[in-house]
Amino acid sequence: MLCRESVVSVSVFPSAAPRPAIDPLELYASAIDTSDYVARVAPLVRRFVARTGELLDVGAGGGQLGAALRERDIPWTAIEPSPTMRARLARLHSPPRIVPDGWAMADVPEQGHDTVLAATMPALFEEPEHFLARCRAWARNTVVWIVPAHQGPRGLCFAGCLPSEWHREDETPGLDVVLRGLALASRPQRIVFTDWTFSGVVADLSHLSAYLADRLNWPADDVRRVELHAHLSAQATPDAAGVRLDIPRKSAVLIWGK
């Protein structure tokens, strides 16, 4: 166990030149860029949804999965309330039409899209029945949800690298949460699974470590800050852009058809 004196020697306190704040959405999106998430999930969706047609991506984030599933030369739409993520979407090679609202307030015509996609967003866990009704109203043909199916934390990005006694998140698989929030008549017609690896490339591990400790509300002189950095360092592997942290994941693809 590290003693408190060692905390000072490793400099847990903020430096004279503060680092830029980490945007949690950008942190997650950049990790999806360097993960095999899209490479694993998109072909599985395509196996059961041969044609996505006009696609609506709800809570699109960085748009990586939606961009992989959209059909060439057919316009697509993304509902995304975050300005940071909307800027990412606008930089895509074939950007979507962007609706800058949350799903509950989004002005999207009913039956206006062939396929409605939603991946790992809060509404899936918080209001699954209500959210499904909204997705079905928007879709002409198919609704597709991507839901975490592994046991582990779903909130804090990179919490999967930490002991549960540190992050204290509910580790119930997201799929279980979604299914128990749906009426039996609302259950998906098909559920299929795929494994993938959340691989975040981190340029400055100390910066990420300090960010995680702040999100955990640990005081600046908390000895666990040094332990957290050492814990991440032990899991990190070298990468040309810094270090890589890998977390095994499993996702469920939930499909409803008309």
Query: Domains in the chain and their CATH numbers?
Result: 20-157+167-199+248-257 (3.40.50.150)
Q: From CA 227, how far away is CA 3, in angstroms rounded? A: 11
pLDDT digits over 61-118, tens only? 999 999 999 999 999 999 999 999 999 999 999 999 999 999 999 999 999 999 999 9
Q: How confident is the model at residue 16 (pLDDT cuts 50, 70, 90)?
A: very low
Q: Is-contact 150 248, C-beta < 8 A?
A: yes
Mean pLDDT of the chain: 92
The CA distances from residue 126 to 122, 123, 182, 228, 237, in Å, are 6, 5, 11, 30, 35
- Spatial CA neighbour of 46 closest among 147, 179, 142, 187: 142
What's the confidence (pLDDT) of residue 17? 55
pLDDT digits over 194-245, tens only? 999 999 999 999 999 999 999 999 999 999 999 999 999 999 999 999 999 9
- Spatial CA neighbour of 200 closest among 161, 165, 227: 161
pLDDT digits over 174-187, tens only? 999 999 999 999 99
Whether 7 has a pLDDT exceeding 70, the answer reads no
Residues 6+ apart with CB under 8 A from 50: none
Whether 5 has a pLDDT exceeding 80, the answer reads no
